[in-house]
Structure 1
């Protein structure tokens, strides 16, 4: 069974604010369900979101390399 995550846990994993996570959930970017006024998602949905981002590097800011 897939582990259930709250927006706070997802925010911790992705290192972004909880409000940003809730916005992503509302927009359907991170697949989630809203039950009893609380958002919940699963481990596999978070992994899917990360993999989609890695497959589309334009959505992420790249850090400059120290090698020059």
Structure 2
């Protein structure tokens, strides 16, 4: 029997998320990070188009 630890699951998720964003340009990645920050500052548990727009505005 094989058991998976939470750190193994977390590592797999991080790799999956990274593989999605590796196709993005550096600037696009910065916009997503800024969008995440905007969502956090607004106490939102999601990243919506409004957060992406704010990230784009901040990135210039």
Asked whether the two chains share a fold, i.e. TM above 0.5, the reply is: no
Higher share of residues assigned helix = 2
Question: Of the two, which has the highest radius of gyration?
Answer: 2
TM-score (norm 2): 0.38
TM-score, structure 1 normalization: 0.34
